[in-house]
């Protein structure tokens, strides 16, 4: 009995070892195969991972099934449209552009797995959704030298060579928001303003900006920290009214902005509300709070309104509407397309330099001093520790406009931003 | 004063909605010994059905259908999934874990359907408000309090005055003896699940109505806040669930409303407060506020 048992176990161990050996060999083979792919092309351009003689492969770690599914879909479609347009015009460096899309559903674990899956086979990541996802991948991205455009704008993401926050950071947006309130005389010295913000990087960074600007302007900030699951802001509105606020800033999601405006209006707290860019979505115009949003809310954003008159934006909106009829044209479309175009410029520059290795792509990116895609303000990527742009637009919700917003103020740099960035070092 | 009245109404309305959910937890627990983790998804299902049907059927019709459908789903889930696991106390633990799995499946599918949308439920209150002395109260809040009170009174009447209620109480007391006396345990517990499902669907309406902007994929998560309410009430006591819910609702509203005066406790204490209250109550009364002597604790 004992002997049989022993023998069974030995067989099992042997079997397990055999399976492990096969798996290991398999892995070794596949990593070897990937290395082989990175050979030089016939045209003499040095290639690296993700680049072959025929294709340039890019990766997208997106959210198609989680809380930011709408945003994810917009960006994926916009970037695919860019890839199709680019390929129709002959591609980049005589190679076809291909985007590998991985859905992580806003789950950090899944995102880490997806990164491991595609990172060895792509040359850059024009889309990574989610601050927690980006934070979890930062070290890997740095190690792999994989140029990445995150869809997150916290200042803590600055200072990393391979990671590029596009446009302004959350703190700069809120400095511009406070400037807008004081400049248009909606608040005066000595007043209190409220700031409703999400816990985490987004809210913390936004609050940093609002507190700095408020102190400079002689205002007091009454902060209200909330979570993404808080969609009824009644208690926060009560507290803000008690604090006697003359205006409210909000750095949260669209649902929270809608609740804030709706509740404040119903309670007679009709003060101006200024939101960070992620706090607004065109879908809000279909909620009961639409009227209050139109009357009270402004949005500060580094990107122009989708309904903007900029020729580049109009052309893109028309093309997108034709390619994806029925899909809403929101800010995600604009930011996704913009990111893809900027990356395209980097790849072209790297190609001209004779190398499409990851290091060469990052280097090409960091040499762009005045990158202008015609979709907003030009950006400067040369100083890794500074935001790529300092200018912001002021937008206003409008149910009738494409993308649900119109441009109220054209892009400009708010006074104080220079001083703020200098003080931050 | 205004803030006080505001917070009081917020708290009462929140508490009333939590009570609908907590009463469902308690009914299920009494009947089957199972802790239902599916409540978040049942709530979301009820809200989603109301949202997609209200254009065709009108709000009342859509709500009625959503309540019936959610009740049916809850009942069938118990009858054909959970009861198959068994009906003894050990099986109840397994069934509790199974409810987590069912919840994940349901939520995943509903999230996929809802996507990033904010769905309006077409409720008749809109963003209307009523002045009450110094405070302004949303009509949807007043409706939440009234409807919850009526629904809860109805549920209590069911427990007290119907044969099913008697069977339920008998089964909760001693299921073996009840079975010997001719109580049909499977049917009693299936109906308990139906009632809980119906209450959850009703709660969804008030969680998605103004001041909230609409039904979101995350709306169901609010159901978890009714857990501390049910537990601090004693888990097996409907009255306890009611008192617990009001306590949790008021705590949440007051802590969030006076957040700036509670800086000592750190920002965002409102989210922790329900659980802090639960722990405090359990420290003093380990079996909950209204637990029967010797009742199973959770």
Do A234 and B111 count as a contact with CB atoms less than 8 A apart?
no
Per-residue pLDDT of chain B (298 residues; tens, 9 = 90+): 677 888 888 899 989 999 999 999 999 998 888 999 999 999 999 999 999 999 899 999 999 999 999 999 999 999 999 988 887 778 888 999 999 999 999 998 998 888 777 888 888 887 788 887 777 788 888 999 999 999 999 999 999 999 999 998 888 888 888 888 888 888 888 999 999 999 999 999 999 888 888 888 888 888 888 888 988 888 888 888 999 999 999 998 888 777 767 666 666 677 788 888 889 988 988 888 886 655 454 4
Q: Please give the residue range of the domain that contains residue B103.
A: 2-221
- pLDDT band at A26; cut points 50, 70, 90: very low
B202 within some domain: yes
pLDDT at A4 > cutoff 70? no
Measured between CB atoms, which of A69, A255, A268 is closest to B118?
Answer: A255
Burial of B236 (0-12, 13-18, 19+ CB in 10 A): buried
**First CA to last CA distance, chain A:** 75
Distance from CA of A223 to the nearest CA of B (A): 8
Spatial distance between the Cα atoms of A284 and A253, rounded to a whole number of angstroms: 11
Do A233 and B118 count as a contact with CB atoms less than 8 A apart?
no
If phi over 0 gives left and psi between -120 and 50 gives alpha, with beta otherwise, what is residue A383?
A: beta
B182 within some domain: yes
Burial of B35 (0-12, 13-18, 19+ CB in 10 A): buried
Chain B CB contacts of A289 under 8 Å are 127, 210, 213
Q: Longest C-alpha distance within chain B, in Å?
A: 59
CB under 8 Å to A404, separation ≥6 — which residues?
A280, A281, A282, A283, A284, A285, A330, A397, A398
Q: What tokens were used for B152?
A: 């809860």
> What are the extents of the domains in chain A?
46-168+309-389, 170-301+394-424
Q: Are strands A55-62 and B129-132 parallel, antiparallel or unpaired?
A: unpaired
Fold that domain A46-168+309-389 belongs to in CATH = Rossmann fold (3.40.50)
Q: What are phi and psi of B257, to 5 degrees?
A: -70, -30
Chain B CB contacts of A236 under 8 Å are 256, 259
Q: What pLDDT does residue A7 have? A: 54
Q: How many domains does chain B have?
A: 1
B207 within some domain: yes
Q: Is B129 on the interface with A (CB under 8 A)?
A: yes
Chain A CB contacts of B207 under 8 Å are 232
Measured between CB atoms, which of B112, B127, B219 is closest to A266?
Answer: B127
B234 within some domain: no
Q: Which of B212, B199, B175 is nearest to B296 (CA)?
A: B175
Do A258 and B252 count as a contact with CB atoms less than 8 A apart?
no
Asked if residues A367 and A402 have their Cβ atoms less than 8 Å apart, the reply is no
Same topology between domain A46-168+309-389 and domain A170-301+394-424: yes
Spatial distance between the Cα atoms of A229 and A232, rounded to a whole number of angstroms: 9
pLDDT > 70: percent of chain A: 90
For residue range A166-184, list pLDDT tens digits in order.
999 999 999 999 999 999 9
Do A239 and B257 count as a contact with CB atoms less than 8 A apart?
yes
**Residue of B212, B225, B250, B252 for testing the chain A interface, max A β-carbons within 10 Å:** B212
pLDDT at A8 > cutoff 80? no
Burial of A417 (0-12, 13-18, 19+ CB in 10 A): buried
Among chain A residues, the shortest Cα distance to B134 is held by A267
Distance from CA of B214 to the nearest CA of A (A): 7
Among chain B residues, the shortest Cα distance to A231 is held by B212
For residue range A313-329, list pLDDT tens digits in order.
999 999 999 999 988 88
Q: What pLDDT does residue A266 have? A: 83
Q: Which of A128, A127, A138, A135 is nearest to A162 (CA)?
A: A138
Spatial distance between the Cα atoms of B166 and B159, rounded to a whole number of angstroms: 7
If phi over 0 gives left and psi between -120 and 50 gives alpha, with beta otherwise, what is residue B112?
A: alpha
Fold that domain A170-301+394-424 belongs to in CATH = Rossmann fold (3.40.50)
Mean pLDDT computed over every residue of chain A: 88
Q: What tokens were used for B140?
A: 């949807």
pLDDT at A19 > cutoff 70? no
Do B268 and A267 count as a contact with CB atoms less than 8 A apart?
no
Measured between CB atoms, which of A68, A225, A287 is closest to B214?
Answer: A287
Spatial distance between the Cα atoms of A238 and A243, rounded to a whole number of angstroms: 9
Do B211 and A223 count as a contact with CB atoms less than 8 A apart?
no
Asked if residues A138 and A350 have their Cβ atoms less than 8 Å apart, the reply is no
Residue bearing tokens 């998804």: B41
Q: Which of B200, B192, B229, B152 is nearest to B42 (CA)?
A: B200
Q: How far does Cα B225 stand from its chain's mean position?
A: 9
Distance from CA of B283 to the nearest CA of A (A): 28
B252 within some domain: no
**Residue of A234, A251, A397 for testing the chain B interface, max B β-carbons within 10 Å:** A234
Spatial distance between the Cα atoms of A249 and A274, rounded to a whole number of angstroms: 5
Q: Is B2 on the interface with A (CB under 8 A)?
A: yes
Q: What pLDDT does residue B252 have? A: 87
Decide which of A248 and B173 is more confident: A248
Q: What pLDDT does residue A34 have? A: 43
B166 within some domain: yes
Measured between CB atoms, which of B115, B136, B219 is closest to A268?
Answer: B136
Q: Is B257 on the interface with A (CB under 8 A)?
A: yes
For residue range A385-409, list pLDDT tens digits in order.
999 999 999 999 999 998 899 999 9
Measured between CB atoms, which of B126, B256, B260 is closest to A243?
Answer: B260
Do B217 and A229 count as a contact with CB atoms less than 8 A apart?
no
Distance from CA of A108 to the nearest CA of B (A): 17
């Amino acid at each position: 009995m004992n002997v049989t048992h022993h023998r069974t176990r030995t067989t099992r161990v042997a079997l397990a070892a055999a399976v492990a050996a096969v798996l290991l060999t398999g892995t070794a083979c596949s990593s070897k195969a990937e290395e082989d792919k990175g050979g030089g092309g016939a045209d003499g351009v040095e290639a690296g991972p993700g680049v072959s003689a025929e294709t340039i492969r890019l990766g997208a770690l997106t959210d198609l099934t989680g809380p930011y599914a709408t945003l994810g879909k917009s960006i994926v479609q916009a970037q695919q449209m860019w890839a199709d347009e680019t390929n129709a015009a002959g591609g980049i460096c005589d190679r076809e552009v291909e985007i590998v899309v991985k859905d992580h559903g806003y789950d950090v674990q899944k995102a880490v797995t997806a990164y491991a899956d595609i990172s060895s086979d792509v040359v850059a990541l024009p889309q990574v959704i989610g601050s927690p996802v980006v934070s979890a991948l930062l070290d890997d991205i740095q190690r792999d030298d994989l140029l990445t455009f995150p869809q997150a704008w916290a200042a803590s993401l600055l200072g990393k060579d391979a990671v590029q926050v596009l446009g302004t950071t959350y703190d700069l947006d809120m400095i511009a928001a406070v400037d807008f309130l004081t400049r248009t005389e909606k608040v005066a010295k000595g007043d209190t303003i409220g700031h409703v913000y999400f816990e985490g990087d987004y809210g913390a960074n936004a609050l940093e900006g609002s507190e700095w600007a408020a102190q400079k302007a002689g205002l007091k900030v009454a902060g209200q920290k909330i979570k993404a699951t808080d969609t009824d802001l009644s208690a926060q509105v009560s507290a803000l009214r008690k604090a006697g606020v003359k205006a409210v800033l909000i750095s949260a999601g669209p649902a929270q902005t809608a609740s804030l405006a709706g509740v404040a209006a119903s309670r007679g707290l009709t003060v101006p509300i200024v939101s960070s860019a992620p706090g607004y979505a065109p879908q809000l115009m279909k909620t009961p709070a639409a009227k209050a949003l139109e009357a009270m809310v402004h949005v500060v954003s580094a990107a122009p309104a989708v309904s903007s008159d900029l020729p580049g934006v109009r052309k893109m909106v028309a093309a997108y509407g034709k390619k994806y009829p029925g899909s809403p044209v929101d800010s995600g479309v604009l930011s996704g397309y913009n990111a893809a175009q900027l990356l395209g410029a980097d790849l072209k520059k790297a190609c001209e330099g004779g190398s499409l290795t990851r290091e060469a792509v990052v280097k090409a990116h960091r040499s762009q001093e005045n990158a202008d895609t015609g979709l907003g303000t030009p950006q400067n990527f040369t100083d890794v520790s500074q935001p790529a742009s300092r200018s912001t637009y002021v937008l206003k919700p409008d149910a009738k406009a494409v993308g649900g917003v119109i441009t109220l103020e054209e892009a400009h740099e708010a006074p104080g931003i220079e001083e703020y960035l200098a003080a931050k070092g | 004063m205004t803030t006080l009245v505001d917070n009081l109404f917020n708290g009462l309305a929140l508490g009333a909605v939590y009570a609908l959910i907590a009463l469902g937890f308690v009914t299920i627990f009494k009947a089957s010994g199972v802790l239902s983790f599916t409540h978040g998804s049942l709530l979301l299902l009820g809200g989603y059905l109301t949202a997609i049907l209200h254009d065709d059927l009108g709000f009342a019709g859509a709500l009625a259908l959503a309540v019936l459908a959610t009740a049916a789903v809850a009942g069938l889930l118990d009858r054909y999934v959970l009861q198959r696991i068994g009906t003894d106390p050990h099986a109840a633990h397994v069934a509790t874990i199974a409810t987590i799995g069912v919840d994940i499946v349901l939520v995943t599918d509903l999230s996929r359907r809802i996507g990033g949308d904010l769905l309006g439920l077409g409720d008749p209150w809109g963003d209307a408000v009523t002045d009450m002395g110094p405070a302004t109260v949303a009509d949807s809040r007043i409706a939440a309090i009234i409807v919850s009170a009526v629904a809860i009174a109805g549920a209590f009447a069911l427990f007290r005055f119907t044969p099913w209620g008697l069977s339920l109480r008998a089964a909760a007391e001693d299921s073996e003896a009840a079975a010997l006396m001719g109580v049909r345990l499977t049917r009693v517990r299936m109906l308990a699940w139906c009632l809980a499902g119906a209450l959850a669907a009703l709660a969804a309406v008030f969680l998605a109505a103004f001041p909230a902007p609409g039904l979101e994929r995350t709306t169901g998560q609010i159901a978890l806040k009714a857990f501390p309410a049910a537990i601090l009430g004693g888990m097996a006591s409907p009255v306890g669930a009611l008192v617990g819910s009001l306590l949790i609702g008021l705590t949440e509203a007051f802590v969030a409303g006076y957040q700036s005066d509670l800086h000592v406790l750190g920002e965002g204490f409102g989210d922790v407060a329900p659980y802090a209250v639960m722990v405090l109550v359990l420290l003093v009364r380990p079996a909950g506020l209204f637990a029967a002597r010797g009742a199973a604790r959770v």
